[in-house]
Structure 1
Amino acid sequence: MDIQHLVDRLEDLIDEGRHLPFSKFTVIDEERALEIIDQMRISIPEEIEKAARILGQRDRVLAQANEEAARLLQQARLKGDEMLDQEVSVQAAHNRAANVIEQARQQAAQIKAEADQYVLQV
């Protein structure tokens, strides 16, 4: 039985009791009070066990979430490294292409100059 329900029952028992005039005492049904207390003694360990199970479940869920977060972070790092490597490769290819184009321009200029020289000589 739920401990909160038992506390409510005990409180109701006290509220239903007969208050002694000119004192702070209340007469209650002793048998019912002891019955509720016995049920509390049984219920408290059950509540503690239930709380321990819930804490265990929470710890497992948190551990799984942390593992998943670490896995996603590792994947993101690997993807970032891969993208950086690709960027470096693309930049190197652009540099090589620029060098080839510049060499082609220089060769074209040299060939044109030689052709102009040849035409002037002939």
Structure 2
Amino acid sequence: MPGEPLPGERIESLVDELEGIIEDAKPPFGKNAQFKVIETEVFFNILDEIRMSYPEEWQKSRRILRERDELISSATAQADSIVADAQQQALTIAGEQEIVRLAQQQAEDIRARADQYERDTRYAAEDYAEQVFTHLEENLKSLTGTVARCRQQLTEQANNPGLTSGY
């Protein structure tokens, strides 16, 4: 849908915000200090937003899959309707054997085109869903790495109470 963010973009934005907080943080002991001071409340609030965004991203993915299934179902119904119409027309018009044969051939051609349209639509929908899941998976991996680093630094801080934030 135009204008709608892709799954994972909200999480990616929040991770970027965390990185900005760390990059902008001031070292407590001078310019070349290994550690930086951050506001943990702000940092944890952003982590909470990330956690709350997971369900939203999964809902978007499920909605995309539902839309794909509806598109495939619609294409199949349309193909069946086209075939049924073609067959009905063939029966109505057919009186002589040659006309019947031509009508059946036309119905088969229509069915073949409808089947191809349904396959093409399904492949396109599956390809799009694959792209969305790949993007989401990459964002989740990035987020998991960031959260693991944050957790490790918080653990190190807890084990070394004399130190401030580790960014």
TM-score, normalising length: structure 2: 0.41
Matched with 1:55 is 119
Comparing 38-47 with 85-94, greater Cα deviation is found at 38-47
In 2 relative to 1, CA 9–43 (structure 1 residues): closer, same or farther, beyond 3 Å? Answer: closer
- Deviation of 1:8 after TM superposition, in Å, equals 6.6
- Deviation of 1:88 after TM superposition, in Å, equals 0.8
Check whether the contact 1:9–1:36 (CA below 8 A) recurs between aligned residues: no
Matched with 1:17 is none
Distance 1:38 1:83 in 2: 67
- Deviation of 1:36 after TM superposition, in Å, equals 2.1
- Deviation of 1:34 after TM superposition, in Å, equals 3.0
In 2 relative to 1, CA 84–51 (structure 1 residues): closer, same or farther, beyond 3 Å? Answer: same
Distance 1:91 1:4 in 2: 68
TM-score, normalising length: structure 1: 0.54
Matched with 1:43 is 107
Runs of 5+ consecutive residues of structure 1 not aligned to the other structure:
13-28, 101-122
For residue 52 of structure 1, what is the amino acid of its counterpart? Answer: Q
In 2 relative to 1, CA 3–60 (structure 1 residues): closer, same or farther, beyond 3 Å? Answer: closer
Q: Deviation digits for residues 66-107 of structure 1, max 9, x if unmatched?
A: 11111111111111111100001111111220xx4xxxxxxx
Runs of 5+ consecutive residues of structure 2 not aligned to the other structure:
1-80, 163-167
State yes or no: 1:91 paired with 2:91: no
Check whether the contact 1:6–1:36 (CA below 8 A) recurs between aligned residues: no
What's the secondary structure of 1:91's corresponding residue?
A: helix
Pick aligned residue for 2:134 from 55, 64, 70: 70
In 2 relative to 1, CA 64–9 (structure 1 residues): closer, same or farther, beyond 3 Å? Answer: closer
Higher relative contact order by CA 8 Å / sep ≥ 6: 1 or 2?
A: 2
